[in-house]
Amino acid sequence: MRLIVSRTTGNFTMKWPNIGARGAAPWLGAVMMLLAGCSAAAAHVSAPPVSATASGAPASPPGGASTAPPVLPPRPAPKPSPSVLPVDPGAGRLKQTRAFPGTNTVAFRNAMADLWLAVTTGKPRLALPAFFPLAAYDQLKAIPDPAGDWQSRLWYDFTLDVAAAHHLLSKNAKLVRVIVPTQYATWIYPGGCYNSIGYWHVPGARVVYRQSSQLRSFGIASLISWRGVWYVVHFGAVLRGGDYGVVDSPVQGTGYPGPPGGC
């Protein structure tokens, strides 16, 4: 007897000869093995090929889904913070000298650059290196509490004056030069203006700047020396009638330095 197996339309059709129960067992085993092999072949399906790009990286899989990480735009570079320049670090703790301050020195240029930075930004603390040092003021003044006077009067008035000068300027204002009338400079001897130590004093320096193609200026009420360096001690005014900022003689052009006097 023979087992006849025919395939129609992708399916198997089996025609069995007329056999008895005992004769069917060997044939049945062979047929089951044949079906198992066909089923395994049908279950093995090859994945669609994935093409590669010119760089060798695999291209996106079918269906439009992308496995590449998103491309983020570059972060903008941070803006540099304002740079404060050193004037004469630690000099306030040293003893005074009678050296006459120059205006063509690194210390003076840095001091005026810091003062200008404070005015243009409206941040008085940026001018701290240009302001008369607290340690020097503590040696200089013959009063009960020099540190308290420095903090509550000198520095406080300076912050008000910086704010007032800041409102004069536009964003395009550029420092041109600072005129110091050294012909008006005088040595203040101990005992004058409640001071126990002498120092050089000059009034009415002029800060000259250009704004919108126009030359303008304002004054520095008082510069005094410590160890051969000029420092701002009164910016807008030496005296005032209340808690408000003062701009010293703002004018178009360079203005007029001085007048002489004061301490």
pLDDT tens profile 67-115: 666 666 666 655 555 789 999 999 999 999 999 999 999 999 999 999 9
pLDDT of residue 195: 97
Q: Are strands 186-188 and 214-225 parallel, antiparallel or unpaired?
A: unpaired
Per-residue tens of pLDDT for the chain, all 263 residues: 444 444 444 444 444 444 444 444 444 444 344 344 444 444 444 444 444 444 444 444 555 555 666 666 666 655 555 789 999 999 999 999 999 999 999 999 999 999 999 999 999 999 999 999 999 999 999 999 999 999 999 999 999 999 999 999 999 999 999 999 999 999 999 999 999 999 999 999 999 999 999 999 999 999 999 999 999 999 999 999 999 999 999 999 999 999 999 99
pTM above 0.75, yes or no: no
Angstrom CA distances, 47 to 41, 90, 117, 158, stand at: 15, 77, 68, 79
Phi/psi at 222 (nearest 5 deg)?
-155, 130
pLDDT of residue 19: 44
Whether 132 and 226 have beta carbons less than 8 Å apart is answered as yes
Phi/psi at 171 (nearest 5 deg)?
-65, -20
pLDDT of residue 39: 45
3-state secondary structure of 72: coil
Angstrom CA distances, 156 to 9, 58, 150, 221, 263, stand at: 101, 68, 8, 15, 19
Phi/psi at 73 (nearest 5 deg)?
-70, 150
Q: Which residues pair with 162 in a beta bridge?
A: none
Longest dimension (CA), the chain: 141
